[in-house]
A and B are shown apart, each in its own frame.
Chain A
Amino acid sequence: MNLSKISSTFKEIRKNYIAYSLALPAIIYTFIFGYLTLPYMLIAFQKFNYKLGIWKSPFVGFDNFKFFFMSDRAWQVTFNTIRLNFLFIVVGTAAALLLAILFNELKGRRFSRIMQSTILFPHFLSWVIISYVVYSFFATNYGLLNQTLSWLGLPQENWYSEPRYWVSILVTVNVWKEVGISLVIYLAAIAGIDSSLYEAATIDGANRWQQVRYLTLPLLMPTVIILSLLALGKIMYGSFDMIYAIIKDNGLLYPTVDVIDTYVFRSLRLIGNPAQAMAVGLYQSVVGFILVFGVNMIVRKVSPDNALF
């Protein structure tokens, strides 16, 4: 039984060896950068030494985790990560919905296209470029904002040393950069709504606002919910590019904008403590996985077609 199964597997691979070898580069890549990374997670439980490697470095149990969770940094970076991502999702979705409804009322297709392209443009820029944009507004000496403040006779502010401003700044910048994407998706979702519904509503005497309120918005809700849930699943991750490009190693701003990803990066590359970095990374992976899994279960209940797995 088992033997025949193996031989049939062997036969299948021999029969379609060309097809399988077409996938071989992708398989090798995924094996190395996906599956071979798993043993390295052991580092989280070790006093890691580059010379000894993962098999010979001494084990220290949960010391690395203790170090992280005993410090107030753990709470701080987790809170910052979740708060920033949560605000990105909420503010971003609200802005995109509002825009999508306004765009949908536009008559001229050409005009709508041009405006969409304009709003989408910043999405294609790297966060390094965006960091220059931010810098040109908030720089202490020459920044536009401080120049304007002094022109108005108001006192200047040292933006890059005041953590309290940066949550709002990052949320604004993120919405500015990414709102175009959500706009395009929501517009496509609106275009997919059965037009006979609107015809029926018009016959029943519904005005445009009522059509938006009682047709467009409710019919968009499934898309909104799915996209938000998927984003929630990734709430422990991300924004390294954004935060590190804009904030760099400016410790003054850490209280509000230092996130898990930047913390891990610093532990690994600047402080040079891979074991510590891995412990925090593992915490992030596990919580992240549970979130993706949980969110997927919810999505599968709400709308099975949109579930990831």
Chain B
Amino acid sequence: MKTYKTFDTINKTFITILAFICTLPLLLVLIVSITDERSIQSKGYSFFPNQWSFDAYQLLFSGGSPLLQSYLISLTVTAVGTFLAVMITSMAGYTLAARHVRYRNGLAMFFFVTMVFNTGLVPWYMISTKLGLQNNIWALIIPSLVFNPFNLFLVRNYMKQIPESLIEAAKIDGANDAFIAFKIFFPLSLPVIATITLFYGIGYWNNWFNAIMLVDKPNLYPLQYLLFKLNSEISMIQQMQSSLSSMTTSQLPSESIKMATAIVTIGPIVLFYPFLQRYFIKGLLIGSVKE
């Protein structure tokens, strides 16, 4: 009995240390973002800087900074995209789950085939540009993001558990499929809808692939892509710096500003995290139960 108790303590300590180590890399990014530039120059990135400074954040939120524009783009794209994606997916989910729809399995196959055979990057790029999905906000919303068959099957499997008799009863009362889907099925499927909202939302917020492929205009850069560019193109930082003339050159936070942008980008995820992880775990478990 006693050995178990010792084991429990060791185990608990080990897991705590491990979880702490997992957060260390992000802690470093946070600390560098509030480190004074001179401290970075003398000591490098460090968990224990000589001097703290919020210059980077001040610069980021100043008038000429591209950050605000990118934030706006990311928020718009995430909100509009997630709404559309959830609608498209839930509506099709109803069709595939309703037993009175004769071709539901054929339709399921139609969607499934595209999950197994992927034609890859080039045709995707050609189609997107052909449809005019280039250098506009829709390029960040539609291609590859607005509908995902995996989520469709998640919704269908959940809706399949809803008794068919509900549809029949509603039909007798004169309701049509649209009414039944929106007023009966969707409210009963809220857990799975929350899950796919989360999947799509995270997908949109973290996406920079569409931007790198289809967008060249800086005023359309979503946050993630701005961040990507920031580390590869020094000119972007210089441009940001020139917008804030009150600082002398030696104070310009060119290192900490990168990390500050990263922190600002993580912000919403931290904010929603309690909600996020709850539905995420639920979704994983729904997804692993087939049929």
Which residues of A approach B to under 8 Å, CB–CB?
Answer: 12-13, 16, 18-20, 22-23, 25-27, 29-30, 32-38, 40-41, 43, 54, 99, 102-103, 105-107, 111, 115, 117-122, 124-126, 128-129, 131-133, 135-137, 139, 141-144, 146-147, 176, 181, 184-185, 188, 208, 237, 240-241, 244-245, 248, 261, 264-265, 268-269, 274, 277-278, 281-282, 284-285, 288-289, 292-293, 305-306, 308-309
Contacts and interface: CB of A to CB of B under 8 A. Distances in A.
A34 B45 contact: no
Which 4 pairs, one residue from A and one from B, show the smallest C-beta to C-beta distance? Answer: A40-B123, A34-B114, A37-B123, A281-B120
Given A105-B8, A136-B29, A308-B116, A12 B228 contact: no
A117 B7 contact: no
A275 to B, nearest CB: 9
B106 to A, nearest CB: 10
Contacts of B112: 309
B127 A40 contact: yes
17 contacts: A12-B103, A19-B94, A33-B124, A40-B126, A41-B119, A102-B15, A115-B16, A120-B280, A129-B224, A132-B227, A136-B32, A142-B40, A147-B44, A184-B284, A241-B209, A285-B119, A306-B290
Contacts of B4: 208
Given A184-B281, A188-B285, A133 B28 contact: yes
A126 B98 CA distance: 36
Given A125-B206, A128-B224, A23 B91 contact: yes
Given A16-B177, A142-B40, 17 more contacts: A18-B178, A20-B101, A22-B91, A29-B146, A30-B147, A38-B119, A99-B18, A117-B273, A128-B262, A129-B227, A132-B258, A208-B4, A245-B228, A261-B121, A268-B122, A285-B117, A285-B120
Interface stretch (B19-27, B61-69, B75-83, B238-246): B19-27
Interface string B218-250: 000000110110011000000000000000000
B123 to A, nearest CB: 3
A15 B107 CA distance: 17
B72 interface: no
B193 interface: no
Contacts of A111: 12
B262 A19 contact: no
B79 to A, nearest CB: 18
Would you call the interface of chain B mostly helix, strand, loop, or mixed?
A: helix
Interface of B: 4, 7-8, 11-12, 14-16, 18-19, 22-23, 25-26, 28-29, 32, 40-41, 43-47, 87-89, 91-92, 94-96, 98, 100-103, 107, 110-114, 116-127, 131, 143-144, 146-147, 149, 152, 176-178, 181, 202, 205-209, 212-213, 224-225, 227-228, 231-232, 255, 258-259, 262, 265-266, 269, 273, 276-277, 280-281, 284-285, 288, 290
Nearest to B278: A117
Contact of B122 (A131, A244, A277): A277
Given A22-B91, A124-B202, A248-B232, A107 B16 contact: no
A274 B273 CA distance: 41
A119 B147 contact: no
